[in-house]
Structure 1
Amino acid sequence: MPHILIVEDEAAIADTLVFALQSEGFTTCWLSLAGEALERLAQEPFDLVILDVGLPDMSGFEACKRLRRVSEVPVIFLTARSEEIDRVVGLEIGADDYVVKPFSPRELAARVKAILKRIAPRQPEAPAAVADGPFRVDRLRYQIHYHEQPLSLTRHEFHLLTALLAQPERVFAREQLLDALGVAADAGYARNIDSHIKSLRAKLRAVHAAAEPIQTHRGLGYSYTPER
């Protein structure tokens, strides 16, 4: 039974979330402070965290940054702010989804189920470790080496790079790359692919500055070009 941590300082909202999630068969834990949540996460495993951005002791963004140093547990942000820059920042620091208040509790529960389904362990359909030129992909360990150097990738970056490496020279539209992340194309996150690609390129250049394995095709999308 999936165990969900809710970090929300407004009791009415938290009560609504607890009811909606427990009605779907989840177990829940509610905390109102980010500091308490980080301590609890260090002591107890959770399957997903619902994290309010505007907490009284620490912003949800800062809490997520600290959490990502030690854990890849899925995070859904709750916020009263709907500006695109806030959504981009939230996703760039490692969130899996971003929900603006007021929201439908049933929709949020559906998003939780979709994320948990997407990250559920699967039997590998291909060999665990696959080499492609300077890249070595280890699907079981969620690790990619580039020129023998391990890359520190978020889960989204791992899936994006794996999708590109699997089909060299193919041009992927942003919507197709969203599908590789398990995100619906109509969720409004297509432009956030650009942020993930930018981060990926920076990590690749840190290993091999002269190479440019990820190519941009203006108006179309992105592709992986093997190094010659």
Structure 2
Amino acid sequence: MKRIFFVEDDLSLIGGLSFALQKQGYAVDNARTCLEAGQLWCDNVYDLVILDVSLPDGSGYDLCRTIRQTSKVPILFLTAADEETDVIMGLDIGGDDYITKPFKLAIFLSRINALLRRSDAFRQPDDALHSNGITVQQLTREVSKCGEAIELTAGEYKLLCLFMEHPNIVLSAEQIMGRLWDCEENYIDSSTLTVYIRRLRAKIEDEPSNPKRIVTVRRMGYKWNTAE
């Protein structure tokens, strides 16, 4: 079942569109604010994101930029902002489609179906990350260590991908939190990030107490180490 993340603050629109999407066979999670969206995005993996532009505590544009830092998930803007500059902005920062309110439900659902079809068609068959005995199959979101499957939470998976996509680069705690949970960069604190790091090390390191893959760089941050 495809999972859709719907970020919108209009309760009537949330109810109607969520019901319509569920009738089409999709699972739908809703968020009404940037804060809620950041928390859900951290804890889950989605096949498509629908973003309103104007939210009570921020902008859908900012959420789009954040998502694009770590994910290629299709993004559809759904908004009353119908100026040409608004449409261009949404597409230029990483949106895949843009629908302005009001709109017809049949067209909306057709756009959703088309985005998901294209997303499936253009995924690379070997869209994988390999490093230090760890393999991440991004197509299926499967993770293995030396050929043995590892079960990760959505947050741990995103954190691992971020590290593996930036080998031997020191990432500060602020950079990591900003890329994974950013809306205003304040959804989790450094203590929570430390917990995520510890849990991930426990699953991927040979000796979690003496990590060789995710190493701490004193007073600077963390690094995915590929050195022998």
TM-score, normalised with respect to structure 2: 0.53
List gaps (5 residues or longer) in structure 1. Answer: 125-138, 143-228
Task: Classify the secondary structure of the residue corresponding to 1:4.
Answer: strand
Deviations 1:168-209 (A, max 9, x none): xxxxxxxxxxxxxxxxxxxxxxxxxxxxxxxxxxxxxxxxxx
Aligned AA for 1:112?
A: I
Moved over 6 A (4+): none
Aligned to 1:72: 72
Aligned to 2:20: 20
C-alpha distance in structure 2 between counterparts of 1:14 and 1:113, whole Å:
18
Deviation at 1:92, TM superposition (A): 0.5
Task: Confirm or deny that 1:58 pairs with 2:32.
Answer: no
C-alpha distance in structure 2 between counterparts of 1:30 and 1:106, whole Å:
21
Task: Classify the secondary structure of the residue corresponding to 2:99.
Answer: strand
The structure, 1 or 2, with the larger RCO (C-alpha pairs under 8 Å, 6+ apart) is: 2
Deviations 1:53-110 (A, max 9, x none): 0111111011111111121211111111111111111000000110100112221111
CA contact (8 A) 1:8 1:33 kept: yes
TM-score, normalised with respect to structure 1: 0.53
Aligned to 1:85: 85
C-alpha distance in structure 2 between counterparts of 1:76 and 1:119, whole Å:
12
CA contact (8 A) 1:16 1:105 kept: no
Deviates more, 1:113-122 or 1:44-53: 113-122
List gaps (5 residues or longer) in structure 2. Answer: 129-228
Aligned AA for 1:32?
A: R
Aligned AA for 2:50?
A: I
Task: Identify if the C-alpha distance between structure 1 residues 61 and 3 changes in structure 2 by more than 3 Å, giving closer, same or farther.
Answer: same
Task: Identify if the C-alpha distance between structure 1 residues 64 and 122 changes in structure 2 by more than 3 Å, giving closer, same or farther.
Answer: closer
Count of aligned positions: 129
Q: What does 1:55-204 correspond to in 2, within 5 Å?
A: 55-121=55-121, 140-141=126-127
Deviation at 1:141, TM superposition (A): 3.9
